[in-house]
Amino acid sequence: MDSRTQGIRARETLPQGNGTGPDGEQLPTRLVEVAPSGGPVTVPGHAGAMRNFSGAETDVRLVELWLRDKSPETRKAYAQDLEKFFDFSGGKPLSSVTLADLQEFAEFVSVLVAPATAARMLSTLKSLFSFANKVGYLPYNVGAALKLLAVKNVLPERILTEAEVHRMIERAGNERDRVLLLTLYAGGLRREDACRLKWRDVTEREDGSGQITAFGKGGKTGFVLLPESVMRDLLPIRLRHSHATHAKRG
């Protein structure tokens, strides 16, 4: 019986996690289907053996814990990466994954996807195995020896010129979108940062300029200054929003 068949039969008979992610959110069905059914590993009699303090008794549960504090976008991307690896390995339990498995997977994806995507997929695996070892679920970190693929930095090729940005702002479909793009550009905000903003995060300063309190990447809170010219466009929209909100409540 090959490893893929063993993995499939094991998933049918052994207990798994409940497939529930952070805040009760369901893990992707496909990920739960292909996730291995292994459990934690201990080393009997080993003086330096780590205790499994993760609370996870299955690989699925470990993945749930690992994904818990990550953003929705990151969870989705990592889940897709794991699906591909679990499919490739035939459902091999995490405790049975070897460096050879990871290296073969690296070679496999290197010819199928863009270098940056392949590097992200390998980083996902390294992160998972590092977490498993850190919380005592696995006594070793097999991903530590896996070298990431070198990736060309193409960010400069994706940066818009000032003229291109202004053209994009001018061609916005409506006033709201125009001011949103203007705020993103003037504040150097990421899309995800802007999506989390509330009107209470925008403060007008005495000199007419503004300040945004942004909860950004890595759970860090930052402060961004906006010029007076941007605030002149932004404040009327906030005022209209406030009036509309009071009208609904009234």
Q: What is the pLDDT of residue 7?
A: 41
Domain extent, residue 84, equals: 3-145
Distance CA 231, CA 210 (A): 6
Whether 245 is in a domain gets the answer yes
Pairwise pLDDT comparison (82 vs 35), residue with the higher score: 82
Are 132 and 179 found together in one domain?
no
Highest mean pLDDT among 120-134, 150-164, 197-211, 233-247: 120-134
92-101, 104-113, 208-217: least confidently modelled range: 208-217
Are 177 and 208 found together in one domain?
yes
Whether 154 is in a domain gets the answer no
Stretch 154-160: mean pLDDT = 68
Q: What is the pLDDT of residue 53?
A: 84
Using the predicted structure, report yes or no on whether residue 27 has a pLDDT greater than 70: no
Whether 227 is in a domain gets the answer yes
What is the pTM assigned to this prediction? 0.60
DSSP H helical ranges for the chain: 3-13, 29-34, 59-67, 72-89, 99-110, 115-134, 155-158, 162-170, 175-187, 191-195, 228-249
Stretch 41-47: mean pLDDT = 54
DSSP 17-50: ---B-GGGPBPPHHHHHHS--------TT-TTPP
Are 93 and 190 found together in one domain?
no
Q: Where is the domain boundary, 101, 121, 145? A: 145
Pairwise pLDDT comparison (40 vs 68), residue with the higher score: 68
Using the predicted structure, report yes or no on whether residue 66 has a pLDDT greater than 70: yes
Q: How many domains does the structure of the chain reveal?
A: 2
Q: What is the pLDDT of residue 220?
A: 76
Per-residue model confidence as pLDDT tens digits over 165-214: 888 888 988 998 999 898 888 888 888 888 888 889 999 998 989 999 88
In percent, the amount of the chain with pLDDT more than 90 equals 34
Average pLDDT of the chain, as a whole number: 80
Helix or strand or coil: residue 135? coil
Whether 155 is in a domain gets the answer no
Distance CA 65, CA 67 (A): 5
Whether 151 is in a domain gets the answer no
Whether 46 is in a domain gets the answer yes
CATH number for the domain including 102?
1.10.150.130
Q: What is the pLDDT of residue 51?
A: 81
Are 140 and 167 found together in one domain?
no
Distance CA 67, CA 55 (A): 15
Are 31 and 124 found together in one domain?
yes
Are 117 and 238 found together in one domain?
no
Whether 150 is in a domain gets the answer no
Cα separations in angstroms, 116 against 21, 46, 83, 153: 27, 40, 18, 9
Whether 14 is in a domain gets the answer yes
Per-residue model confidence as pLDDT tens digits over 201-244: 999 998 989 999 887 666 678 888 999 999 999 988 888 877 66
In percent, the amount of the chain with pLDDT more than 70 equals 74
